[in-house]
Structure 1
């Protein structure tokens, strides 16, 4: 099969018009007519990931976060993006990214987070005509807030889960958004969420909500890590004979000491 067929399958599930205006989802590097038999799936494109793809005979990398996010005026070796571009072209490895279009698609990144937490009755937190931002869902049975947050921490392998001092009542209604979802905090409150989970949030947004809901900040990478599994599932359903590999490189640039 050809790279364009892989792109078409991903865009059927998460159409490019769903992406945010600032985004650059889609084909990053490569030619759509090139034949592909093996694909490497990842969250982030780094030099190590590109070399892994080349060494494992992958013709295509499918990532969540785009390598090319802003304009590039020079291709040298002065930063990681430029080095990755040169390396991918040198080894004939194409790169395709499904980013905020996959975030904003029904059944996408946020649905995957909800699935991992065993949530039910999942729907968009902030729906649009075609998709939406974040999701809101329910626990099968109410849980003590710290028990739930500790379960989030364990499920997502979080070294340090940041929270506020929320109300001491059982929680059942959960709003969430992978990655940078702090813009949805007020929506989560308005929709009666007991907990709002996201990957990162500005300091001043923590204030003033202790009587309203619990806030859980998971880390950007941690919140979206299961996107690789989602990509695997989507492509396996469409192309049962396509060989799909998940990167063995841990690409989270943030370390905890």
Structure 2
């Protein structure tokens, strides 16, 4: 299998179109056509991780965090980022990052946090905008059903838990084939009036190429009239953070003890205890203070995240419990998530979990 083949499997789980605009995801180092001998999965691509990949015979590193986040102007070994990139290139080791693409899917980072805490009835905390598109096209009545089925098969017309969703209007289409045309209906030089259906189907941005390919390959007309428009609607299945419900309500201290056990951390920074019970919980792996307002709006009793600053703790304002369990701690399950997914997708392939500790924070 090539690097591109592995990337395609990963992007079935977390399409790169779902990543945040500020992010740098996908293949960062290496040849997309290179044959893969082994995969090493890590949270961060450090120098020790590249050495581990070389020792294990793995020439593809799948990393959660991107080693190249901002543009590199030189590679002289002056920083750990430059040394990682140089060492990887020198040893033909490719590096692929999935980062916020995996953050933003239901089965991703935050879904795994929900698994660890035991949350049910989950939904996205901040649904993503700008991901939805609408296809409008026109097809003769005789070809309507076949075209719809092809578009559905390509992934168009999925709305939440529903599939094969579309809307159609009927009307009359007109066209005048030119001298070099090869019309399916009508004749050159003669105005054709044809009963047609106007079809409307929504889809996510990551599916646009294959949906348009299905349109062109299955539409009966020589020239296909269509429009693709961007929608402002939020997409409820993709976005930052999640919110769910504990099976049984817990007191604040019992909830914090649960977090210490599940996240394997000796201490948790938290806002003032108010004597409330915790049932509805919002989570966001990594730096999530920006979502405190969204957690409140979702009716959360507690918000589990990391990297909360001093003044941001005041935003709890007696309305919910803020629990900062640590950046690494919230994302530590990601390696296993990716390992489980890839071993299911490509069994009998050399896939390893990195044994290198990449958490830069220590506790005394």
Question: What TM-score bracket applies, with the shorter chain setting the length?
Answer: over 0.9
Q: Does 2:318 align with 1:197? A: no
Partner residue, 1:243: 350
Query: Following the alignment from structure 1 to structure 2, what is the Cα–Cα distance between the partners of residues 174 and 9?
Result: 31
Partner residue, 2:122: 122
Measured at CA, do residues 144 and 113 of structure 1 come closer, stay the same or move farther in structure 2, by a change above 3 Å? Answer: same
Query: What is the Cα deviation at residue 127 of structure 1?
Result: 1.3
Partner residue, 1:187: 294
Query: Following the alignment from structure 1 to structure 2, what is the Cα–Cα distance between the partners of residues 145 and 211?
Result: 13
Query: What is the Cα deviation at residue 256 of structure 1?
Result: 1.8
> Deviations along 1:63-85, whole A, 9 cap, x unmatched?
00001000001011100000001
Contact conserved, 1:164 with 1:210, CA < 8 A, in 2? Answer: no
SS of the counterpart of 1:142?
Answer: strand
Partner residue, 1:56: 56
> Deviations along 1:19-44, whole A, 9 cap, x unmatched?
11110010010111111131110000
Query: Following the alignment from structure 1 to structure 2, what is the Cα–Cα distance between the partners of residues 232 and 79?
Result: 29
Query: Following the alignment from structure 1 to structure 2, what is the Cα–Cα distance between the partners of residues 208 and 44?
Result: 31
The TM-score, its normalising length taken from structure 1, stands at: 0.97
Contact conserved, 1:166 with 1:213, CA < 8 A, in 2? Answer: no
Q: Does 2:363 align with 1:256? A: yes
Contact conserved, 2:292 with 2:315, CA < 8 A, in 1? Answer: no
Q: Which has the higher strand share?
A: 2
Partner residue, 1:90: 90
Query: What is the Cα deviation at residue 210 of structure 1?
Result: 4.6
Query: Following the alignment from structure 1 to structure 2, what is the Cα–Cα distance between the partners of residues 39 and 223?
Result: 23
Aligned with residue 318 of structure 2, among 211, 214, 223: 211
Partner residue, 2:79: 79
Query: Following the alignment from structure 1 to structure 2, what is the Cα–Cα distance between the partners of residues 85 and 211?
Result: 47
Q: Does 2:348 align with 1:231? A: no
Query: Following the alignment from structure 1 to structure 2, what is the Cα–Cα distance between the partners of residues 91 and 232?
Result: 23
Query: Following the alignment from structure 2 to structure 1, what is the Cα–Cα distance between the partners of residues 39 and 316?
Result: 44
Number of aligned residue pairs: give it.
257
Q: Does 2:162 align with 1:162? A: no
Unaligned runs of 5+ in 1: none
Query: What is the Cα deviation at residue 17 of structure 1?
Result: 1.1
Unaligned runs of 5+ in 2: 129-234
Contact conserved, 2:40 with 2:353, CA < 8 A, in 1? Answer: yes
Q: Does 2:28 align with 1:28? A: yes
The TM-score, its normalising length taken from structure 2, stands at: 0.69
Contact conserved, 1:124 with 1:132, CA < 8 A, in 2? Answer: yes
Query: Following the alignment from structure 1 to structure 2, what is the Cα–Cα distance between the partners of residues 213 and 106?
Result: 24
Partner residue, 1:174: 281
- Higher gyration radius (CA): 2
